[in-house]
Amino acid sequence: MEQWKAKRDYGESVNPTDLHPEELSDDMSLRLNPMWYPLKEFPRKLLLERLNARWIFTVADNGDIYIGVDRISGTIEKDEFERLLRGMREKDPTLTGGRLRNSLDRQGHPTVGARFESDGKTKIGSARIAGHLEWNEENERFEVNEFSGRYMSSDARPTFSATHNDTNPKHLNNVARRMSSQLNVEIHAASAFS
């Protein structure tokens, strides 16, 4: 997508306000979300089978949408976690379930907004819009919102008002429409700040 179209459809691009320690690897580089997917590769089945998951998304400068999860331990089944732990213990026999969970959880929007250097290393990426994709039990539907303190807050976007009343709903609606089309699932825009 051309830059001007991405700006029109998804708004201004900003860098995250900060990174959390859990989002950095031992060499202090940005970690990639453990369930990072470009929207075009995100398995529809995963969305439909994991209604308890809180997926997070970012829209890159070029308009591409990326999806990940903020708490993998709340997303995968117990047997999947145990299988992962067994596999990881082959490399580190002292690894505990708690340490693994801590290393995988609390992976916020910057880990989904990551971009790649030519050598494959991750770098901090900007986002035009970021938020959550989740099942709303009360409304019985999937919804996206623009809840991302590090990309969507007034700290990240000084022209925003405290209540985000000047957020263009068109941008979030475009995200919902594009996800709906790609995943063949009805997804609604639901502002986190209204």
Kindly report the backbone phi and psi dihedral angles of residue 119, in degrees, each rounded to the nearest multiple of 5, phi listed first.
Answer: -90, 5
**pLDDT by residue (tens digit) across 12-30?**
999 999 999 889 988 888 9
CA distances in angstroms from 184 to 2, 15, 51, 138, 161, listed in the order given: 25, 30, 16, 21, 34
Which of 186, 130, 165, 147 shows the shortest CA–CA distance to 11? 130
Neighbouring-strand partners of residue 67: 37, 57
**pLDDT by residue (tens digit) across 58-102?**
999 999 999 999 888 778 888 888 998 999 999 899 999 988 888
Q: What is the pLDDT of residue 25?
A: 85
Whether pLDDT at 194 is above 50: no
Degrees, nearest 5: CA angle 135-165-155? 90
Q: What is the pLDDT of residue 70?
A: 86
Whether pLDDT at 165 is above 90: no
Which of 66, 33, 87, 45 shows the shortest CA–CA distance to 133? 66
Q: What is the average pLDDT across 161-168?
A: 51
Gap between the Cα atoms of 134 and 74, Å rounded = 13
Least confident of 34-38, 105-109, 166-170: 166-170
Whether pLDDT at 166 is above 50: no
Q: What is the pLDDT of residue 193?
A: 52
* Residues of the chain above pLDDT 70, percent: 94
Residue 164: strand, helix, or coil: coil
Q: What is the pLDDT of residue 104?
A: 82
Whether pLDDT at 10 is above 60: yes
